[in-house]
C-alpha cells in the first residue's frame, strides 16, 4: 500500500533490514528516524534506497537556514525520497531547505525529495503548548504552520490525524499530509495524544500514514501490516 510508511524505530541495521525484507511489497516506504540514524548513520539510508525502497528520512531539521540547507542537500545525495524540517524554523529556513533540495537534485539529475515540515508533534496537547508559550488553540497553530509551509513552497506537512481535514481544506488536494500517531484497533496511545486509526486518517484526507509500534512490535510484523492494509481497503 503506497500510503503506508513503516517506521523502522529499532536499534540495529540488521533489525531494520530484516523488517524491510519482511514488509517489502506491503509497505510503500520506510521511515528512518533519529534512533536508527544515530546508531548507523547514512549507510542505512543508502542501503535501503539502493534496494529501491522509498526512504522517509525523519530527522526534523531545525537550525539556521545555512545549516538546514546543507543537511537537506546531504539527504538528497543519500537518495532519501522524503525529508522533513520543522515549520517553526521559519520562512527563511524552509525556503533555504527547498532551494537546497532542488539544486542538489538538479546537479545529480534526479527528482528532488519530497520536502515536508513538521507542524506540532503528536505528543503535544493544549496544556503542553501553553507551557512553551503558545496560547492559541492547538488546531489553529497547526493550520497556521501548514499555511506557512505551503507559502514557502514545500510539498506538505507532518500533522496529527486530528488536524488533517482542517489542513486539507486550507491547503488543497495536492498538498501532502503525512500522519503519524496511527494506532491499530485496541492499541494504547503511548506517548502520543492526537491519534486515529489508519482508516480514520485516510478518510480524513491523509496522503501517507506513518506506522511504527503497531507493526514492528507485533509478534508477526507482516501479519500486522496485512491487517492494517485490509482495514484501510475495507469499504
- Residues labelled catalytic: 60
Contact 229, 4 (CB under 8 A): yes
**Cβ atoms within 10 Å of 74's Cβ, excluding its own:** 16
Contact 28, 208 (CB under 8 A): yes
Provide DSSP, the chain.
-TTEEEE---S-HHHHHHHHHHHBTTBSEEEEEHHHHHHHTHHHHHHHHHTT--EEEEEEE-S-HHHHHHHHHHHHHHT-SEEEEEGGG-HHHHHHHHHHHHHHHHHHTSPPPEEEEE-S-TT--HHHHHHTT--S-HHHHHHHHHHHHHHTT-SEEE--GGGHHHHHHHH-TTSEEEE--EE-TT---TT--S-EEHHHHHHHT-SEEEE-HHHHTSSSHHHHHHHHHHHHH--
Amino acid at each position: 500500500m503506497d500510503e503506508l510508511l513503516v517506521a523502522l524505530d529499532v536499534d540495529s541495521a540488521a533489525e531494520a533490514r530484516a523488517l524491510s525484507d519482511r514488509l517489502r511489497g506491503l509497505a510503500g516506504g520506510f521511515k528512518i528516524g533519529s534512533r536508527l540514524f544515530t546508531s548507523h548513520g547514512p549507510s542505512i539510508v543508502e542501503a535501503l534506497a539502493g534496494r529501491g525502497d522509498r526512504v522517509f528520512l525523519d530527522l526534523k531539521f531545525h537550525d539556521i537556514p545555512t545549516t538546514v540547507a546543507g543537511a537537506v542537500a546531504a539527504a538528497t545525495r543519500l537518495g532519501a525520497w522524503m525529508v522533513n524540517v520543522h515549520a517553526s524554523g521559519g520562512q527563511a529556513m524552509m525556503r533555504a531547505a527547498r532551494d537546497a533540495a532542488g539544486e542538489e537534485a538538479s546537479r545529480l539529475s534526479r527528482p528532488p525529495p519530497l520536502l515536508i515540515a513538521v507542524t506540532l508533534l503528536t505528543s503535544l496537547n493544549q496544556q503542553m503548548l501553553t507551557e512553551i508559550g503558545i496560547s492559541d488553540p492547538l488546531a489553529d497553530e497547526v493550520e497556521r504552520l501548514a499555511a506557512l509551509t505551503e507559502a514557502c513552497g514545500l510539498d506538505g506537512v507532518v500533522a496529527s490525524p486530528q488536524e488533517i481535514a482542517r489542513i486539507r481544506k486550507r491547503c488543497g488536494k495536492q498538498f501532502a499530509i503525512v500522519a503519524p500517531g496511527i494506532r491499530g484497533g485496541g492499541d494504547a496511545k503511548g506517548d502520543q495524544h492526537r491519534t486515529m486509526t489508519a482508516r480514520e486518517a485516510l478518510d480524513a484526507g491523509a496522503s501517507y500514514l506513518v506506522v511504527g509500534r503497531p507493526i514492528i512490535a507485533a509478534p508477526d510484523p507482516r501479519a500486522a501490516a496485512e491487517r492494517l492494509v485490509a482495514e484501510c481497503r475495507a469499504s
